[in-house]
Amino acid sequence: MPDSGVSRVLRKEDQRFLTGRGHYTDDLNRPGQLHAVFVRSEMAHATVKSVSTDAAKQAPGVVAVFTGQDMADDGVGSLPCGWVVTDKHGEAHKAPPHFPLVRDKVRYVGDHVAVVIAETRAQAADAAELVEVDYEGLDANADPAKALEGAPQIHDEAPGNLCFDWELGDKAAVDEAFSKAHHVSRLELRNNRLIPNALEPRAAIGEYDPGTDEYTLYSTSQNPHLLRLILCAFVLNLPEHKVRIVAPDVGGGFGSKIYCYAEETVCTWASKKLNGKPVKWTAERSESFSSDAHGRDHVTHAELALDENGKFLALKVDTIANLGAYLSSFATAVPTYLYGTLLAGQYKTPAVHCNVRAVFTNTAPVDAYRGAGRPEATYVVERMVERAARDMNMDPAEIRRRNFVQPDEFPYQTPVALTYDSGQYEKALDEALAMIDYKNFGQRRQESERNGKLRGIGLSAYIEACGIAPSQVVGALGAGVGLWESAQVRFNATGSISVFTGSHSHGQGHETTFAQLVADRFGVPVENVDVVHGDTGRIPMGMGTYGSRSLAVGGSAIVRACDKVIEKGKKIAAHLLEASVDDIEFDSGNFRVAGTDKQKSIGEIAFTAYVPHNYPEGVEPGLDETAFYDPANFTYPAGVHIAEVEIDPETGTTRIADWVAVDDFGKVINPMIVEGQVHGGIAQGIGQALLEEGVYDEAGQLVTGSYQDYCMPRADDLPSYRVGMIETPCPHNPVGAKGCGEAGAIAAPPALMNAITDALGTEEISMPATREKVWRIARGRLAQAAE
Amino acid sequence: MYGFEYHKPSSLDEAAKLLADNEEASLIAGGHTLLPTMKQRLAAPSAIVDLGGIADLKGIREEGGNIVVGAITTHDAVAGSDVVQAKIPAMARLAGGIGDPQVRNRGTIGGSIANNDPAADYPAGLVGLGAIVRTNKREIPADDFFVALFETALEEGEIVKEVSFPVPEKAGYAKFHNPASRYAIVGVFVSRGPQGVRVAVTGAGPCVFRVKEMEDALSGNWSADALKGITVPEDELNADLHASAEYRAHLVGVMARRAVQAATA
């Protein structure tokens, strides 16, 4: 790729976003639309003995009230989990049904009992209060650590609340290595539950056309085609060509808008029941807290075996992963193939074994959230490495250096299934150490101590597997879908270009980055290119945006489609220039006869393609090509983040004094957008490490159900990040890109926790490292120092 | 939100009459507590009486050496007031540290004190300065105004008109905020002036309270050091997700010392 496409082009989409002219789902209103309000369970676990809807049906403006029985009578299926995990005994994971409206039991606070549909939202809300649900309460459990130890049985299909018991890696080799180890370091870790909190709450409008038997669903989806596939093939049993899904402007997803949810399913189904009246639902923020899929929630014991030189010999990880009350669309893949496979980190640990028991609890379903499994893996590896360095009195940078996979060792086969393709881990470390002035940290620590403060520094050398994913590989691992991407690149007759992508932008800036990619490929101004996404009616096919895949996979599909356009253009140019096709070169927007000054611009070629008065025989008119791209491997973004903190022992307040990030995302198209992604990711990582935690009490009530109690990071909680980049292009995709969207959220938590534990002199603190937790430890430390 | 009637009177008397005529009516000033509660259907007033149309309730003035702040004066107006900044800078800083810019541009002093949220900032300011609350019926010293959790001395139909603050020689406020809500986990207001030495604590307990032992210590020696070793009992303090009673008790000491250090003339 020539470098001319790399620049800090201002985001094309920001004109409409910053002037309030975005079109989000809730901004849309369809003629004659009705409004849905869900009756949700206020109990964490109960048998539903009866649901009386008579009074609600009589209420003003109410058009219908539906229950799970109505959907069952109509043959509506269960919301599926799209990835089958095979456990260590060769059995498929337990897949209890997950009906859009419950039929017999409620299993978490926020579970869907009934839907009230009325002429106005207020009428629906009033009537929802009249739905009488007769519950018989059952004991509840929200704690994954207790789920396997005699907790209440949540699904009959999953005895002991166990969904699967899965392992990866060579246990015998790991045991052998541990038996010979010079030293073993151990850690107990809790990866806290997070609630995604996209700025735009989920919303849906379902609309059925009785005249054509076609459905349209407007929805806040990160992947409209995938949602259509799930909805049609598994839930509503509809033919795909009769269903159109429009995901217009979407205000953030972070994974939580990947899935097929109950609400959009109900709106789509109900519109047909109501003879085509559109049915709209928009989540209130409290519904987002209780019913968006949550993230993380792991309990882990890890052990690292080392030789006398600090070389890693083996890593052993035992995790309990909380899946919540039901399986969300990709819940099973997150704590397995997106987690265990990353436990080698950036290191040549020769043997790794990971065991994961995934459990059901009376909490909201847990699925992918920014990073999805990889933050959990990185947290284990990087906390463990830091622990080992401290145990062995080694410099944390040096112990990493001794264990890194080296640049000449790629492709590198890890002991946990992945083949790393490229990277320069030590270079990133060296740059990050220089940026933060690591060698003078001791002076800064002394300065802080003179002011009565505790200072710490923490490293995180992360790696992720992105560019998800080679379809054959994920198919062999249980995925129910292929993970290619498609793109259509259309020259219009007058030379402008429309790009149709199956990727979906919900904040990532694809309309700019993809336009830059295409403009660069064709040698035309970026203004000439518009990117269309988020509508199954306009885009041929797609798999959507998650797992930092859009540029690596979606961008590669676009490049392939561009190349097809150029190939066809050469035939037209050869005809016009009276030359052989083999002699035509394309460069900087012009088709030229090699070695001559005879040329035609790509605009002229496009015009000729649509006005083919003088045209080569046997070539179709038009300049409009579609490509599908299925990656050959995952991509492996990696880097080093270093956090430096200063703690006020009197109050336990942690101030982030400095933060450097050196990331390798392969080829970068728009550095400004990439830096923005890094900043946002770090903010979420800092949120996890310092502030955020989804808390359920012992009765299964969500304690952190609003911003009064769930603590999102604010600007004044965050430092000014210093972001550096190195570029090792991905060797196997045509863009050379690796992906950048999740890196910050993956790298940040261990960097920050390593800094805090460094300052406090103990590993015994869990995320979020709240001020009170820090104070309790710092107080003890000060008391010890005083004695 | 349930349906309700909306009234916007132009005088205190008219407001009082509307309140008397509508049994389930509720006053609204900035609405930053009432509206979220109504949206969640946790409150269902039959009528809303909006004080925003009563000109007398707005504004800040000097009167007989005191600073008088009208009930519907926003936090932002108090924070940005030249008079408050000159005479009671600690009060300007208190107001400027409430919530976020949106809250400060809607929320009012009268609404805040009438609600008496145990974690609100203003109760500490009023008690910490020995302010007087004037209503449409009488004057109430701050010490008597804040009665208990979400409970004040206001009677049925009584409306806060303004608050009169004596100008202290020195005053300071230190707040340890809840990182989620930005309310006070502990906020301590200290002052020395016409009302003697005062130490008022918000956030820590169910209602704002004074710490006599600290006041006595500061009366003899106005310095942070004078407060060293003085503790408050934790058994009546709040405990929640964000802070235990033990932590709050500790923070009362820390914030009191920092308030004295921050105190300016």
Instruction: Name the segment(s) of chain A with CATH classification 3.90.1170.50.
Output: 17-138+199-252+257-291
Chain B: closest CA distance from residue A710 (Å): 6
A23 band by pLDDT with thresholds 50, 70 and 90: very high
A787 band by pLDDT with thresholds 50, 70 and 90: low
Q: Establish if B251 touches chain A: CB-CB under 8 angstroms.
A: yes
Contact A768, A750 (CB under 8 A): no
Calpha distance A178→B222 (Å, rounded): 63
Query: Cβ B176–A712 below 8 Å, yes or no?
Result: no
* pLDDT tens digit sequence for A147-161: 999 999 999 999 999
Question: B181 to chain A: which residues are within 8 Å by CB?
Answer: 707-709
Chain B: closest CA distance from residue A722 (Å): 24
Cβ neighbourhood burial of A233 (10 Å; 0-12, 13-18, 19+): middle
Quickly list H helices, chain B.
12-21, 34-39, 75-80, 82-87, 89-96, 101-106, 109-115, 122-129, 142-145, 212-220, 245-262
Give me the pLDDT at residue A430, please. Answer: 98
A4 band by pLDDT with thresholds 50, 70 and 90: very low
Phi, psi (rounded to 5 degrees) for A273: -60, -30
Token reading at B174: 């230190």
A contact set with B (CB within 8 A): 122, 125-126, 129, 286, 650-651, 691, 695, 703-704, 707-712, 717, 770-772, 775-776
Give me the pLDDT at residue A5, please. Answer: 60
Q: Computed from CA positions of residues A594, A600, A606, A611, in that sequence, does the dihedral angle turn out positive or negative?
A: negative
Give me the pLDDT at residue A1, please. Answer: 38
Query: Cβ B243–A712 below 8 Å, yes or no?
Result: no
Query: Cβ A708–B181 below 8 Å, yes or no?
Result: yes
Q: Establish if B42 touches chain A: CB-CB under 8 angstroms.
A: no
Buried b / exposed e along A91-121 (16+ C-beta atoms within 10 A): eebbbbebbbbbeebbbbbbbbbbbbbbbeb
Same domain, B28 and B67: no
Same domain, B39 and B169: no
Q: Are strands A162-169 and B209-210 parallel, antiparallel or unpaired?
A: unpaired
Contact B3, B44 (CB under 8 A): no
Question: A129 to chain B: which residues are within 8 Å by CB?
Answer: 41
* pLDDT tens digit sequence for B221-264: 999 999 999 999 999 999 999 999 999 999 999 999 999 999 97
Same domain, B45 and B103: no
Instruction: Name the segment(s) of chain A with CATH classification 3.30.365.10.
Output: 295-468+633-786, 484-629
Q: Of B41, B180, B254, which is closest to A651 when you measure between CB atoms?
A: B254
Same domain, B41 and B71: no
Question: B41 to chain A: which residues are within 8 Å by CB?
Answer: 125, 129
Q: Which of B146, B138, B142, B141 is nearest to B116 (CA)?
A: B146
Calpha distance B76→B168 (Å, rounded): 21
What contacts B210, CB < 8 A, 6 or more positions away? B127, B143, B198, B199, B200, B201
Same domain, B189 and B253: yes
Give me the pLDDT at residue B1, please. Answer: 87
- For residue A783, pLDDT over 80 is answered with no
Token reading at B183: 């309310």
Mean pLDDT for chain A? Answer: 96
Q: Which of A343, A317, A314 is nearest to A176 (CA)?
A: A314
Provide the CATH topology of domain A295-468+633-786: Aldehyde Oxidoreductase; domain 4 (3.30.365)
What contacts A145, CB < 8 A, 6 or more positions away? A299, A320
Q: Which residue of B has its CA nearest to A697?
A: B241
Percent of chain B with pLDDT over 90: 97
Calpha distance A334→A369 (Å, rounded): 9
- For residue B26, pLDDT over 80 is answered with yes
- For residue A778, pLDDT over 80 is answered with yes
Chain A: closest CA distance from residue B248 (Å): 9
Same domain, B179 and B117: yes
Q: Which of A452, A419, A391, A386 is nearest to A641 (CA)?
A: A386
- Show the domain range for B188: 58-262
Percent of chain A with pLDDT over 70: 99
Average pLDDT over residues B17-29: 94
Calpha distance A247→A546 (Å, rounded): 15
Contact A4, A82 (CB under 8 A): no
Tokens 């060797």, residue located:
A731
Calpha distance A399→A682 (Å, rounded): 24
A6 band by pLDDT with thresholds 50, 70 and 90: confident
Average pLDDT over residues A602-610: 98
Q: What is the gyration radius of the CA atoms in chain A, in angstroms?
A: 27
Q: Which of B206, B201, B202 is nearest to B240 (CA)?
A: B206
Helix-then-strand count for chain B, H and E: 11, 14
B265 band by pLDDT with thresholds 50, 70 and 90: low
DSSP A772: H
Q: Of A122, A126, A709, which is closest to B180 when you measure between CB atoms?
A: A709
Q: Which of A319, A334, A331 is nearest to A96 (CA)?
A: A331
At the fourth CATH level, which superfamily is domain A17-138+199-252+257-291?
Aldehyde oxidase/xanthine dehydrogenase, a/b hammerhead (3.90.1170.50)
A786 band by pLDDT with thresholds 50, 70 and 90: low
- Please calculate the CA angle B28-B31-B32 and round it to the nearest 5 degrees: 150
- For residue A3, pLDDT over 60 is answered with no
Question: A712 to chain B: which residues are within 8 Å by CB?
Answer: 180
Q: Establish if B242 touches chain A: CB-CB under 8 angstroms.
A: yes
* pLDDT tens digit sequence for A360-387: 999 999 999 999 999 999 999 999 999 9
Q: How many domains would you assign to chain B?
A: 2
Helix/strand/coil for A236: coil
* pLDDT tens digit sequence for A581-592: 999 999 999 999
Calpha distance A88→A94 (Å, rounded): 13
Query: Cβ A703–B243 below 8 Å, yes or no?
Result: no
* CATH (domain of B29): 3.30.43.10
Same domain, B109 and B200: yes
Return the CATH class of domain A484-629: alpha beta
Contact A38, A128 (CB under 8 A): yes
**Residue A514 to residues A487, A635, A680, A730: CA-CA distances in angstroms?**
11, 19, 20, 18
- Please calculate the CA angle A330-A752-A401 and round it to the nearest 5 degrees: 90
Calpha distance A769→A692 (Å, rounded): 9
Q: Which residue of A has its CA nearest to B1?
A: A122
Give me the pLDDT at residue A171, please. Answer: 98
Q: Which helix (H) or strand (E) holds A71?
A: helix A68-73
* pLDDT tens digit sequence for B196-212: 999 999 999 999 999 99
The DSSP result for A581-628, as a single string, is: GGGEEEETTEEEETTSS-EEEHHHHHHHHHS-SS--TTPPS--EEEEE
* CATH (domain of B252): 3.30.465.10
DSSP B168: P
Percent of chain A with pLDDT over 90: 98
Q: Computed from CA positions of residues A203, A205, A206, A212, in that sequence, does the dihedral angle turn out positive or negative?
A: negative
Q: Of B176, B180, B250, which is closest to A711 when you measure between CB atoms?
A: B180
Phi, psi (rounded to 5 degrees) for B174: -125, 130
Q: Which of B5, B4, B52, B19 is nearest to B158 (CA)?
A: B19
Q: Are strands A454-463 and A638-648 parallel, antiparallel or unpaired?
A: antiparallel
Query: Cβ A691–B247 below 8 Å, yes or no?
Result: no
Query: Cβ A122–B176 below 8 Å, yes or no?
Result: no
Same domain, B22 and B120: no
Same domain, B91 and B200: yes
Question: A775 to chain B: which residues are within 8 Å by CB?
Answer: 247, 250
Question: A704 to chain B: which residues are within 8 Å by CB?
Answer: 241
Buried b / exposed e along A432-454 (16+ C-beta atoms within 10 A): bbebbebeebeebbeebeeeebb
Average pLDDT over residues A602-613: 98
Q: Computed from CA positions of residues A493, A22, A328, A689, in that sequence, does the dihedral angle turn out positive or negative?
A: positive
**Residue B108 to residues A48, A542, B81, B114: CA-CA distances in angstroms?**
46, 52, 14, 10
Average pLDDT over residues A381-394: 98
A117 band by pLDDT with thresholds 50, 70 and 90: very high
Token reading at B84: 């408050």
* pLDDT tens digit sequence for A255-301: 999 999 999 999 999 999 999 999 999 999 999 999 999 999 999 99
Q: Which of B167, B212, B208, B157 is nearest to B186 (CA)?
A: B208
Calpha distance B71→A500 (Å, rounded): 57
